[in-house]
Structure formats: C-alpha cells, structure tokens
Structure 1
Amino acid sequence: MANRSILDVLPLDIVELVIREGKNYDRKDFCGLRLVCKAVNELVEPEVFSTITIHFIRDDSEEWKNIPQFLLSLVSGTSPYVRWAKELQLSGLIPIQFANVYWSQYDPWQGEEREAMLACQQEWLTAAIESLVQVERVEFVANSREPYHDVFRALATLPRLRDLSITFHSYSPFEDVPFAGFSNLNSVRLTGLPMTPHILDGVKALLSKSPSITELSLNAPYQSGGPEVKKVEFSSMVEDVMQPNFSPSLKKLTISAAPLKLSPPCAPFLRSLTSLEILNDSAHVQPSFWKALQDSGVHLQELKVAPLRQPIVDYLLSYPGLRRFTLDWPEQDTEDVEKIVPRFFHDVLPRHRDAIQSISFKHTKLGPWTINQSYLNEGVYLCKKLKYLTLIYYFPSPNEKHTHPVIPLANLFSEISDNLPQLEILRLEHTRKFQRSFGCGFACGQYFQTVGRAFANHIMSSKSQFFSKRPPQFDLAAAGTTFISKSVSAASSGSGPDSGGGSGGGEYYRFDLPNASDHLELRSDELVSDCDAYSGDEGFY
C-alpha cells in the first residue's frame, strides 16, 4: 500500500494552523518539519525560505566561509530562496574604499581573507540579488564605503519589488544614489536620506514612476549644530506625479519637517492621506498647509507631531474621525502652549470621541501637558473607544511644594477602569521638578532610577488600591515595568464606612507584578526624600 500523507489524516486547514503556530517557536525545530513528509514540506518550505539575509559578517563561528557557496547557489538557481524569498535583508558588505586609511586597520576583514571575500562580492553579489525574482520587500542598510551603486542597480531589476526600505549611514557621505531605476513601488521608506540635489532628483524620478504609492517616509538626518540644510519644498518632489489624470493613492506620509517644507501646493498629492507623521518639529510646516488639507477634504486618522500648534488644532476641529494621536518630543513648546493644551483636552478630544483609540505622549516634561482632573473629566473620559492611553503624571518629591494638582493613583485607576471600558494599556510617565544644576552622568542616572523605583513602589502600595465596579481590563506600563491588576480582599483594602467604595457592587484591586517570581529592587519613598536638593525651578524631569 502506498504511503499515506498526513493530509489523509488531518484536514489541510488544521495542518496549516499547526505550521503557522510552529513559526513562533524555535526556528531549528520549525525547519525540521520539512522532514516529516512531502506534503508538510510543501507547506513549510515557502515559510522557511520566505526571508533571505545577505551580509558579510566575520565572526568566530567561521560561518562566513560559507558565503561564497551561498551566493553561488543563488546565482545558479539551486537555492530554494530563489523560489520562495519574498523579503531581502541586505547589510554589512565588504568596504571597497576607506575615507580614512587609519581606520581600515580596525576592519574585521584583513589580508587574504579580505581579498577572497572582496572578489566573491564583486563576482556574485549583484547576480545573486538579481536572481531573487520573487522578492517583494527589501531592507538595505547602505554605506557609502560599500558598493551601493551596484546594489541599487541590482535591486531595481527585481520585477516584483513593491516595498523599498533604505537606511543610509550618516557618518559617510553619499555623492549620488541611482533611485531613478526603480518603478511601480507601493511603499518607500528612506531613513537618513542625504539632502543633495542629485539624490533628491533621483527620489523625484522614483516617485514619478510610482504613481500608485501608498506609503512614503522621507527622514533626513538630524544635524544638531551642523550647517543649515537648504529647505526643499515637498511639492517640488511630487510635481511630476500630479499630472491632469492623477489619482491620489498615498495613505501614509512620514516626513522630516526641518529640511522638507510642507505647503499648500502639495495638498492635491495628499488627498487620500489617512496617516501623517512629522519629524523634527512642525515649525517648518506652513500654517496654510493645514488649511489646505482641510479644504482638500483630508481627514487624518493618525497624526504624530511636535509641538502641537494652533493651525493643527483648528484643522483637527474641522472634522471627526481621528483614531491615533501622538505628541512627539518637541525641542521647545510654543508660546501659546498654555492655551493649546486646554483646547486639546476640552475641544479636540470631544470632537473625536467616537473614533479615537490611542493618545500618546513621547516626553515626560513637567508642564502644561501634565494631566489634571479637568482634562480627564472633560476630555479623556469621553473617549470610550480608547485602547492605548499615555498620561504625564505629576509625582512630586515627599516635601516638595506642589506646582501641579496631585491626583491620587487610587482615584485615577478607579475612574479609568469605570470610564474607559476598552482600554488595554495605560502608560504613566511620571514627572517631577528637577534642578538642572544637579548635573548629569552617573549620579544623575542614579537619581532617575531611584525616582523610578519609588514610583513603582508607590503604584504597588496600599494607598494605590482602588475600587472598581468591574474587573479592570487594562495593564499598566510605568517606571520601565508592566503591572497587571489583581483583586484584593476587603480587609486588606481598608474598606469600611470611610473607604469611599464598596457599595453598588464591585471589588478592590491593586496593580502588581505579573508573576510572584518577578522581582524589583524597590525602595521606600523615604529613601528619595531629596526634595530640598532637587526642587529648583530650572529644568524638569
């Protein structure tokens, strides 16, 4: 009798579920599934060889000696990667030039080994890349000392390539990049993009040949204190795309606002935009740009900016439907921040209350964005679909003169549990006054760690036990740790006539570490009673 296949015993959908689950475990064991039988191998092999990594890494394992054979198998077409690879990861090539001969002595490749691997790279690398005709996604870490010209030209020949992600090393200058050879891309992410006229012309040509692009990220390198980069109008880079019959398709744009200016002429290119992320300060975005978005009917669902400015507030008030808002870390707040913050909580959040699912802050500065009860009651608690929430929480030193309202954690946890039924993650960024003259370095880091431990201790103290009408559904991320809610007995909670809870159903809860075996080196609040030394008005933590 012929050998039976596993598919004669189990349905195909069950076998596929087992294989999909196996991908989450040890890769060696997952690859071993190929040996079970021919039917399983046909299902596993495309997953095992779906991602290919090409890099020239020299280490003590001596696996680098297999690189020539590996590239040759690609060129000859005998490697299963040629049939199945959908994603190519490329980095760590052999340098072909050194800007500084002195540093060449520290390169891991030296002598005969370097010459042999360099010859291998020159002979087979581009042909190996060109053989991967099924590849749809590429991630390339480009270094100007390496043969990046040849790599770009080889990548541009891949017929199925739709997703291109390039990271440019900033410490080595790029004279030009052959972008013009790419076409029909759906997603382009360029990180550390050199802002030279020749390279920008290449990006412009790439975009003109990719009229159906849905995701674009142009992130120029941040040059603090360096020479000022000439501002480039983003509209000039997409003008060749916006022909009379142009149909906008871009859904997500991430852009460095410092060298790339956003102004009204680019609005037609962005008519289908749903996600916008502006890096390196939105000060370089013209106020009229936001009015142009409004007039073009662009209703963003995701927005990340820094800082929040009045034209952005006006734009957000023009429509409902924002789902995710992130305030990035601004170099400095706007002069009218004291007016903008209340408008965000009291006007913007109620406007988007039926849609917004995530509110996040990427800084911990003590200031106007520090949460207070009014912002919670009249803004946050109205957003019943919130799943992810970050709050900047004032956690003063024990004897510090309070400059902001202090919300007891027990009250905060109880209100959030009762008012935000879909919340999954609450992130508290604790902040307090910090004297800049304290300095930096090891002692400063030790102080921050001590405050973090004190806050974690405060979260798990009896003072932070809270009453909730229903079991809390959210986890708490704070002080570099994730806490989960656990019910506590009425006796340990101190419930009674003056406890403020317990009537109308419900239980007492507290936040604790997930497992009893987890350990935190916590200290009591008394060990950070350093308020006199660190309560100056200069600087914040």
Structure 2
Amino acid sequence: MSGMLSLPTELLQEIGADAADKTLRLVCKRINFALEPQILSEITLSSKRLSSQVESLATTEPKPTSASKYATKLRIGPLFSSSHQNGVTSLEEEAKIRSFLVPAIGSLVGVRQMLWDLGQSDPEWATLLVLDALASLPVLEALHLSDWSPPDSPVQFQQLSNLKKITLTSDSYDRTTIIRTVARLIACNQPGLTSLTIVDDGDHVDGYKPTLQDYLAETSSIVCLKITHLNLSGLVAKFDASALRHLKSLVSLTIVDIFSPYDETTEYQGSESLVPEIWSTLRLEKIHLQELITDDAQPALVEYLKSFSGLRRLRLIRTSSESTPPWVYNRLAIHFYEQGLENHISFLDSLEVRSSYEGKWCFGNHCSNVIKKGTRLTLLDLSVNSEDIPRGEEEVRDYAESLPPTRENAIWSLLDICATLPILNSLTMRGASPEHSRGSKCGYGAGMHRASMKLWIAQNLERYGPITPNHVFHVTALWTEYAVRRDDLGANLGYRPIARIKDDNWL
C-alpha cells in the first residue's frame, strides 16, 4: 500500500476510476483526498436506500459537506418502486423522505446537470418536493428527463426558469402528458434556452408521430429562442416559419430517424422525391453549422454542404436506405466527396462516413485526395470495400511480400494517408453490407460478410508496413482496438490488438 500512496494524485484518480469498488477511498486519508472529488461528482437518489440517503445528505456535519463541494451532476429516480403503491414502503421511511428530500437536494449547491427518471410509481408529493428543491439550486443549467412510464398529469416546471439545456429521452407510447410537460418547460426557459434534445424511441401505435412544433407549442409568439444545439430523433422534422425563428443561431444539428411525408412513399421515384426540405431551408436561410450528425444522406444535403465552409464535425451514420438503387447511391457518394466534402475537409476535427452498403461511399482511390487534405482531423471513421483489400491469410501474405504491390489495398492506402495527418489520434475502419443484401429480409448473408470482414481487416492490419514514427494513432476495426507494438529493443512489430471494444454498434 505504501507504494500506491507514493503515486501522484492524477494516477490515483485513474486507478479509482477503473476500480469496481468505490469504497477504495475509505482506505486512508491520502486516497480519500485523491478520489473523493471524482467519486462524489455524481450523486444518485433512487428507491434503493432513499430514506437513509437523503437523511445523510441533509444532516451530515460539518457544512459544507464533501458532496456539497464536489457534486456537479445529480441523478434522481425513480424515487419509489412500483411496490410503494402497494404500501410496501414503511410510514417511518416515508416520513424521513418527506422531511429530508428538499434539504438533501438543496445542499448540493454545485450541481449543474440533473438527470430525472420520471415514473408513475412516484407519488405527486415527492415530485413536488423535488421541484421545490431544484428551484433552490443556484447553478443548475441542464435538465435531462427520461420518460419510460409517464405520470398521469403534466409535471409543473414553472419554478425552473434558468435552464440552458433541456434533454428528453422517451420510450413511451402515451406522449400527450410528456409533450405538454416539456412544452411548458421550454416556455418557462425562454429566451435563455440554447440546447434542446428530443429523442423519441416509442412505438407509434396510434399512428401519430410527434413533431418539433408540438414541443414548441407553448413558446410565446413574440419571443425567439436562441437554440445553438438541436438534437432530434424519432420526430417529424419540419423547419417551417414557426420553428425556424428559434433556429437562427444554430451551430450544431443532429437529426436521426426523422419522419417526413416521403416516408409514405412505397417505391423509389427518383432522388428528388426523397429530398427533405430541411437541407434546402438551412441553405436558403444561410444557417452555417459547425457540427452536423445525420442518417439522411440526400442530394439536398450535398447542396447544403457546397453552400458554405467551416464544419468542424461531420457524421453520416447511414448513407442509404434499403430501397435506394445502387447507381443513385454511388452517384451521390461521388458528388459528396468531390464537391460537398471539399469545402470542409481542411476545417474538420472529426469525420465519420458510415457506409450502409459497399460502393463509392467506402474509402477508395475516388476519395483519397480529399481525405489527404484533412490536416486538422483528430478522428477519422470510414468504411472499406471487401473487393478493395486482399482477403484471406494467403492473399494478404502474397500482397505484403510483393514488390511493388500487385493490386490496390484500401486498408494500407488509408493507413499511409493517416500517417501524413499531423494530429490524427484515432482511425476507425468498418465493413459495409454487401450490395446483394440490399432489401433482404434475412440478415444472415450480411452477418456472415461482417464476420469475414473482421478477419480480413485484422489480417491486413497486422501485415501492414513499414511502420513510421508518424503511426501514433490507434486503429479501431470491428470490435477490436489496435496500436503499434514494439519489441524490447524498440523494433516495430506492427499493429497488434490491444483491447476488445464493448460497444457493438457496428452495423
């Protein structure tokens, strides 16, 4: 233990962050001093031990407590389990909660961000007490509501009027109550609100799809919000005059799984029939974003990108629907790389193009010249075609041993380019679904292809050379992270796997 105590505070904090047992800080004062600010930066109040938690926060002496000094994030709820409605919570516990909930939350004077899981199991009196307590927090500026089982009536948020950031994530089919709740919350925070995120993952059993306008319905017609960051998912996205007046200051836009009248189209009618009005509106209104995340790659998007320069982050997380003909898919990709990306590549910090299917959206000779211009990139995420790489151990070995190489290798070419990008620290390479699987109702073929691509990419990475001092970036490829490894004498061994990626969002 004495060796551990001699470590600098920064290393102790890294150890504490990785440790599963958060009671490590109780070992001694030295470790507690290092880990306490980190561990107590987030406080969670939930149904488990709620009465003892709030009593401890409210009564601990001396003041201010450690939690008061270090907590910047508060997570609440559900405060009561569904068993509370059946009388499982004792009268003594409920009395403690009623007495200490407000002073407990009110003591956390440094909290800036609050995450609240709304639920039907929480009694109305508990919700009202939380609202009273939140209103007393002097620097609270961000509220994240999670709604999985909405309350019976709208929550009255009139006391919270200084929020800058509001986030809603909902998986409920009963949207009426939560829409009214959030609409009133937005109205209470005009005009100071600058960031709005609405993620609707629920089923549309009644056929109605909520709109951005539903959530802005309570906003005064004479006041314009100054939204700089907008994130929409699972809504009808329409930037008409009623919404656009709040978006003149927009710098960051995320639109994923949006609905539009075009979603009713059952067969392909040409590229123009799929163009959402949103990109044309942004172009005509000269709203120039710094960050753009979307799964809606359309001709109008490329036209919007051509109309200005200066994007810092661009993520295309899906480039095609199942019904898009390959010739349209590839033509749009060429248009994007040759004209849309050209205006922004020298400004970008982060570029992600996640190709849905193999083709021209994947990295290749057609886009290598523009990627070379990304001298400010710190993160690059591209897909590769299976036909553009050697496949199988024998092919990869023959390619590596041939002088000069007898064929193109997209993986090696991309690694060569990345070695010329001066501040790049992360490269992600992905496979894409084979073109013949487009529209297939069975994902077996695409799944087998991804499994093969994982092996082929690994084989090409581990044979890649020569390694130069510029290959300092890590590579992530299909659930595995790679880094350059060296032997005891400092000689390069090439890229070798160093970690398994837990996130399986590679489809």
Q: State the TM-score, normalizing by the size of structure 1.
A: 0.69
Aligned 8 A contact 2:279 2:304 in 1? yes
AA aligned to 2:376 is K
Aligned to 1:357: 349
Matches of 2:116 and 2:500, distance apart in 1: 40
Give secondary structure in 2 for the equivalent of 1:360: strand
Match of residue 167 from structure 1:
146
* Partner Cα separation in structure 2 for residue 22 and residue 126 of structure 1: 34
Residue of structure 1 in register with 2:459 after alignment? 458
Within the candidate set 316, 329, 332, 2:305 is matched to 316
In 1, the alpha carbon distance for the partners of 2:220 and 2:132 equals 25
**Residue 472 to residue 20, structure 1, CA distance change in 2 (3 Å):** closer
- In 1, Cα distance between the equivalents of 2:420 and 2:237? 41
- Provide the C-alpha distance between the structure 2 equivalents of 1:268 and 1:138, rounded to a whole number of angstroms: 28
Native 8 Å contact 1:381 1:419 kept in 2 = yes
The aligned runs of 1:74-153 (5 Å cut-off) are 74-76=57-59, 78=61, 80=65, 83-84=68-69, 85-96=71-82, 117=93, 120-121=96-97, 124-126=100-102, 128-147=104-123, 149-150=127-128, 153=131
Q: Distance in 2 between matches of 1:469 and 1:77?
A: 57
Write out per-residue CA displacement over residues 100-146 of structure 1, whole angstroms, 9 at most, x where no aligned residue: xxxx8xxxxxx866676556545544553344444322112222223
Q: CA deviation at 1:274?
A: 1.3
Note the residue ranges of structure 1 that are not aligned, 5 or more in a row: 1-16, 58-63, 105-110, 400-405, 489-506, 521-540
Q: Secondary structure of the residue that 2:352 maps to in structure 1?
A: strand
SS in 2 for 1:386: coil
In 2, the alpha carbon distance for the partners of 1:35 and 1:47 equals 14
Percent of pairs with identical residues: 19
Choose the corresponding residue for 1:345, options 311, 320, 337. 337
Q: How many angstroms apart in 1 are the aligned matches of 2:170 and 2:484?
A: 42
Counterpart residue type for residue 278 of structure 1: I
- Residue 465 (structure 2) pairs with residue 474 (structure 1): no
Aligned match of 1:392: 383
Match of 1:253 among 221, 230, 234: 230
CA distance in 1, matches of 2:298, 2:104: 50
Query: Map of 1:216-365 to 2, 5 A cutoff?
Result: 216-223=196-203, 226-234=205-213, 237=216, 240=219, 243=222, 246=224, 249-256=226-233, 258-281=235-258, 283=260, 287-329=276-318, 332=322, 336-362=328-354, 364-365=356-357
Amino acid at match of 1:176: P
Question: What is the aligned partner in structure 2 of residue 498 from structure 1?
Answer: none
Structure 2 unaligned regions, length at least 5: 1-6, 17-21, 263-274, 393-406, 502-506
Contact 1:50 1:81 in 2 (8 A): no
Letter in 2 for 1:243: I
State the Cα RMSD in Å.
4.2
2: CA distance, partners of 1:287 / 1:341 = 18
The 1:280–1:203 alpha-carbon spacing in structure 2 relative to 1, beyond 3 Å, is: same
| Alignment correspondent of 1:512 | 496
1:304 Cα offset (Å): 0.7
The count of residues paired between Structure 1 and Structure 2 equals: 448
Greater Rg, structure 1 or structure 2? 1
Q: Distance in 2 between matches of 1:92 and 1:230?
A: 27
1:187 aligns with 2:153: no
Q: 13, 27, 50: which is aligned to 1:23?
A: 13
Q: How far off is 1:157 after superposition?
A: 2.1
Contact 2:42 2:75 in 1 (8 A): yes
Confirm or deny: 8 A CA contact 2:350 2:380 kept in the other structure: yes
Q: Which amino acid aligns with 2:495?
A: F
Q: By how many angstroms is 1:368 displaced? A: 4.3
Q: Per the alignment, do residues 260 and 318 of structure 1 end up closer, same or farther by CA in structure 2, a change over 3 Å counting?
A: closer
Q: 1:439 to 1:300 in 2, by over 3 A?
A: closer
How far the C-alpha of 1:380 sits from its partner, in A, is: 1.7
The structure 2 residue matched to 1:371, chosen from 348, 360, 363, is 363
Tell me the distance in 2 between the aligned counterparts of 1:314 and 1:455: 36
Asked if the contact 2:144–2:167 (Cα under 8 Å) also holds between the matched residues in 1, the reply is yes
The correspondence of residues 489-528 of structure 1 with structure 2, limited to 5 A, is 510-514=494-498
CA gap of 1:453–1:279, structure 2 versus 1, over 3 A, is closer
Tell me, yes or no, if the aligned pair for 2:484 and 2:492 is still in contact at 8 Å.
no
Q: CA offsets per residue over residues 373-412 of structure 1, 9 Å max, x none? A: 11222x222222222111111225969xxxxxx9415642
Paired with 2:385 and 2:299, the residues of 1 have a C-alpha distance of 25
| Kept after mapping to 2: 8 A contact 1:129/1:155 | yes
* Structure 1 counterpart of 2:299, one-letter code: Q
